[in-house]
C-alpha cells in the first residue's frame, strides 16, 4: 500500500506538507501543492482513513441498525438515509438485527469498536439497555431506547385514526385490527396505532376486534391465520393492518375466498411506500413521510455529532397522510 511517506518522497517534500495538502490547511505554495497532487496521482494514492481516525478525527461512519432490509418500508428508509449520508460524506455500516437481540448487541459492540460517529436505530424488538451506555451519538426511529436518545417517528395515533375513520366512512361496521398489538410490555410509540383504533371505534359505538400478528411470524403462517379469520367470520367488513404487506396478504386471501374488495370487505394498510404506490396503487393506506423521517433522523444525529447537542426525552413526531385507493372505495 502506498502511504503518505511515499508520496512525500516522490514529491520531494516532508510528510507534513503532504498531509497539509490533503487536508488543505496551513499555507502552501501553489508549486508545492501541484507537485504533491501530481505525486498522489502517479502513485494512485488513497489516504488510510484508519490512521487518520486514530488521531481523533471522525471516522465518517454511521451505523444503521434495522430489523429487516427486505421489507419495502425499511428498504426505502435505509436507501433514503444512505443517500443523504453519502451527500454528507458519511458511509453506512448496515446492521440487520433481524429481531435477534444477541445479534443486535453484537452489532452495537462492533459499531462502538469501529468508532462510528453515530448510530441510527430502527429495531422494533424491545430495545437493548446497552444503548444508553454508549458514548456515540444515537437517534432512534419510533422506539424508546433511553431517556437520552431522541425518537423520530410519524404520528402513529393520527395515522391509525385516519385509517379507522376511512373504514368507518366507507361504511364498515365489523372492523378488525391486524398486526402488532400491545401485549403487556411497555408502551412504545407504535402502540398508539392500537390506541387510536380503539378510540375511533369507540367514538362510533363500534366494537374493536383484533388479530394479533407478531413480526416473527412467517408470511405463510400469517396468510393462514388471515385465511382462517376471514373464512370463519363472514361478518367482517373492514380491516386495518399495521403494514402494507399484511394488507396485501389480506387482499390475496379475500380473492382466494371470493370475498369482493371493497364491496364486501374494505382494507386499509399502513406505510405507503413508493413501492406500494408504484405497484399496488389500488391500496388505501397511510403513508409515512419517509424522506422527512430520514432527514430528521440525520439532522438530529448531526446536531449531536457536530454541535454536541444532547437531548432528554425528546420525541419528534411527523404527520402521516391518507392515500385513498380502490380497497375502500369502488370506482
Number of alpha carbons in the 13 Å side-chain half-sphere of residue 164: 29
Q: Total binding residues for a copy of itself by CB under 8 A?
A: 53
172/245 with CB nearer a copy of itself:
245
All three cell numbers of 325: 385507493
For helices 4-11 and 15-22, give the axis angle rounded to 10 degrees.
Answer: 110
Q: Which does 23 bind (CB under 5 to 8 A by kind): a copy of itself, DNA, none?
A: DNA
Q: Which does 29 bind (CB under 5 to 8 A by kind): DNA, a copy of itself, none?
A: DNA
Q: Is 217 in the site for a copy of itself (CB under 8 A)?
A: no
74/197 with CB nearer a copy of itself:
74
Strand partners, 151: 140, 315
Q: Of these, 98, 195, 229, 318, which contacts a copy of itself (CB under 8 A)?
A: 98
Stretch that binds a copy of itself, among 9-17, 273-281, 294-302, 322-330 (CB under 8 A): 273-281
The edge-to-edge listing of strands for the beta sheet with 284-287 is: 209-212, 175-179, 238-241, 266-271, 284-287, 321-323
Site string for a copy of itself, 54-93 (x = CB under 8 A): x----x-x--x---xxx-x--xx-xx--xx--x----xxx
Cβ 299 vs Cβ 84: under 8 Å: no
Neighbours of 303 (CB within 10 A): 16
Tell the residue number behind the cell numbers 412467517, with chain if given. 218
Stretch that binds a copy of itself, among 22-30, 43-51, 177-185, 199-207 (CB under 8 A): 43-51
Q: Is 330 in the site for a copy of itself (CB under 8 A)?
A: no
Strand partners, 63: 93, 119
68/188 with CB nearer a copy of itself:
68
For helices 219-231 and 244-256, give the axis angle rounded to 10 degrees.
Answer: 50
Provide the binding-site residues for DNA, judged by CB under 7 A: 1, 3-5, 12-20, 22-23, 25-29, 31-33, 47-48, 51-52, 54-57
Stretch that binds a copy of itself, among 32-40, 95-103, 208-216, 229-237 (CB under 8 A): 95-103
190 DSSP assignment: G
Amino acid at each position: 500500500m502506498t502511504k503518505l511517506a511515499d508520496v512525500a518522497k516522490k514529491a520531494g517534500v516532508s510528510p507534513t506538507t503532504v498531509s497539509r495538502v490533503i487536508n488543505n490547511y496551513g499555507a502552501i505554495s501553489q508549486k508545492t501543492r501541484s507537485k504533491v497532487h501530481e505525486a498522489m496521482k502517479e502513485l494512485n494514492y488513497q489516504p488510510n482513513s484508519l490512521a487518520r481516525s486514530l488521531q481523533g478525527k471522525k471516522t465518517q461512519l454511521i451505523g444503521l441498525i434495522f430489523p429487516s432490509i427486505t421489507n419495502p418500508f425499511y428498504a426505502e428508509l435505509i436507501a433514503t438515509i444512505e443517500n443523504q449520508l453519502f451527500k454528507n460524506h458519511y458511509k453506512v455500516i448496515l446492521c440487520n438485527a433481524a429481531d435477534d437481540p444477541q445479534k443486535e448487541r453484537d452489532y452495537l459492540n462492533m459499531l462502538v469498536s469501529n468508532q462510528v460517529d453515530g448510530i441510527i436505530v430502527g429495531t422494533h424488538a424491545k430495545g437493548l439497555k446497552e444503548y444508553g451506555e454508549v458514548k456515540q451519538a444515537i437517534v432512534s426511529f419510533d422506539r424508546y431506547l433511553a431517556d437520552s436518545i431522541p425518537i423520530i417517528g410519524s404520528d402513529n395515533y393520527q395515522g391509525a385514526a385516519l385509517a379507522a375513520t376511512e373504514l368507518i366512512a366507507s361504511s364498515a361496521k365489523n372492523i378488525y385490527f391486524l398486526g402488532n398489538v400491545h401485549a403487556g410490555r411497555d408502551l412504545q410509540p407504535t402502540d398508539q396505532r392500537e390506541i387510536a383504533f380503539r378510540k375511533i371505534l369507540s367514538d362510533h359505538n363500534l366494537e374493536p376486534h383484533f388479530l394479533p400478528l407478531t413480526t416473527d411470524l412467517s408470511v405463510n403462517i400469517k396468510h393462514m391465520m388471515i385465511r382462517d379469520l376471514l373464512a370463519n367470520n363472514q361478518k367482517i367488513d373492514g380491516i386495518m393492518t399495521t403494514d402494507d404487506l399484511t394488507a396485501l396478504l389480506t387482499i390475496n386471501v379475500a380473492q382466494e375466498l371470493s370475498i369482493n374488495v371493497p364491496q364486501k370487505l374494505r382494507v386499509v394498510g399502513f406505510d405507503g411506500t413508493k413501492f406500494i404506490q408504484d405497484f399496488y396503487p389500488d391500496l388505501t393506506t397511510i403513508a409515512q413521510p419517509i424522506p422527512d423521517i430520514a432527514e430528521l433522523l440525520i439532522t438530529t444525529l448531526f446536531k449531536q455529532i457536530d454541535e454536541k447537542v444532547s437531548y432528554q426525552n425528546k420525541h419528534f413526531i411527523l404527520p402521516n397522510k391518507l392515500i385513498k385507493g380502490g380497497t375502500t372505495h369502488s370506482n
